[in-house]
């Protein structure tokens, strides 16, 4: 629990309500609405939608960020992406970048229709994979007035190319071939296969990146299994749907989000740092890249001594005025 790791942080300054709302595909999206107890009832408040890491649920990292930002005076909404957690969608753990992006817009629909929210002052914050989904959403939803990402993963590039372009085209094609063969198995009633995600035990050969994820997802630090899932399936997308990420290009046209401001936060030691740097390079102005010394990728999920909440607060306060 080093560096103040506090994934399950709660605050007596904030009220939490479970909420549900429909996306445009008429799927039920589940969220937690965090309302500051000292909210000024006479004026409408700014709000922020918060998305969880890929394969996680709102109780992992997203609730922590939502709570901390609510303490700073924002109404916040953490959501379970479709097919994950308490949100609808079958099969469970399916990958659909288009529907994930839609969930963020549906969250804006929900927030913008609350009487105590100023619908002209809604921001969005995506952690890990949700960083790429929120960019995808913001490109076609100008109601998101300010966009921040933390430890962002471009789920498209990560699946096409691997980290630091370590995957060959042949390896990519092999993965795709395996997934489409599995479609026949499942179409004819066979067992569903799952892929990637976080390992369930460590040995001497476990890769350092897997160890990093294990320390969060498979220990009391961040382990959480929603009632709709099982521990064995936590973080693991279905094999047949995961290749849909190969067609996901969130940074294409990222410059069209301008002049809405973008903030990219990454750990100096994060294996995912390349994605924040690439997005920053391609984005239009105004934009900012903040690199956190001594922080890795998963550190910024819950290590509150490393997460720059003051920077996030000033970013959203100045851009959701």
Mean residue pLDDT of the chain comes to 97
The C-alpha torsion from 199 through 200 and 204 to 208, rounded to 10°, is: 40
Q: What is the pLDDT of residue 1?
A: 76
Domains: count for the chain: 1
**Does residue 198 sit within a domain?**
no
Query: Domain for residue 98, yes or no?
Result: yes
Predicted pLDDT at 228: 75
131 within domain boundaries: yes
In CATH, what number is assigned to the domain containing residue 156? 3.40.50.1820
In a domain? residue 60: yes
Q: 68-124 pLDDT, tens per residue?
A: 999 999 999 999 999 999 999 999 999 999 999 999 999 999 999 999 999 999 999
Asked if residue 12 belongs to a domain, the reply is: yes
Q: Is residue 111 part of a domain?
A: yes
155: pLDDT confidence band, cut at 50, 70 and 90?
Answer: very high
169-202: pLDDT as tens digits:
999 999 999 999 999 999 999 999 999 999 999 9
What pLDDT is stored for residue 41 in this prediction? 80
Residue 302, in any domain of the structure? yes
The pLDDT of residue 226 is: 86
- What per-residue confidence (pLDDT) applies to 310? 98
- Residue 130 belongs to domain spanning: 2-163+248-319
Specify if 304 maps to a domain.
yes
pLDDT tens, residue by residue, 15-40:
999 999 999 999 999 999 999 999 98
């Amino acid at each position: 629990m080093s560096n103040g790791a506090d994934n399950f942080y709660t605050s007596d300054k904030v009220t939490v309500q479970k909420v549900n709302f429909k996306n445009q595909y008429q799927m039920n999206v589940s969220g937690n609405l965090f309302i500051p107890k000292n909210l000024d009832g006479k004026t409408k408040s700014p709000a922020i939608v918060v998305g969880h890491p890929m394969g996680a649920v709102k109780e992992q990292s997203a609730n922590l960020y939502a709570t901390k930002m609510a303490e700073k005076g924002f109404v916040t909404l953490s959501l379970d992406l479709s097919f994950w957690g308490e949100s609808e969608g079958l099969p469970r753990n399916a990958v659909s970048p288009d529907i994930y992006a839609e969930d963020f817009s549906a969250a804006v629909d929900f927030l913008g229709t609350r009487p105590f929210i100023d619908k002209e002052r809604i921001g969005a914050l995506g952690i890990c994979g949700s960083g790429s989904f929120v960019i995808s959403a913001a490109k076609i939803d100008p109601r998101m007035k300010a966009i921040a990402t933390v430890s962002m993963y471009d789920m498209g590039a990560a699946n096409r190319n691997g980290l630091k372009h370590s995957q060959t085209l042949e390896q990519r094609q092999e993965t795709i071939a395996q997934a489409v063969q599995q479609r026949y198995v499942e179409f004819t009633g066979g067992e569903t296969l799952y892929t990637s995600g976080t390992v369930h035990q460590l040995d001497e050969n476990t890769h350092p990146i897997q160890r990093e994820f294990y320390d969060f997802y498979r220990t009391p630090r961040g382990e959480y299994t929603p009632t709709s899932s099982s521990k064995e399936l936590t973080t693991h997308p279905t094999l047949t749907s995961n290749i849909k990420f190969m067609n996901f290009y969130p940074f294409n046209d990222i410059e069209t989000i301008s002049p809405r401001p973008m903030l990219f936060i990454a750990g100096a030691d994060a294996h995912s740092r390349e994605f924040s740097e690439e997005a920053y390079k391609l984005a239009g102005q105004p934009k900012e890249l903040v690199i956190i010394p001594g922080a890795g990728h998963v550190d910024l999920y819950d290590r509150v001594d490393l997460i720059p909440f003051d920077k996030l607060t000033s970013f959203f306060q100045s851009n959701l005025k």
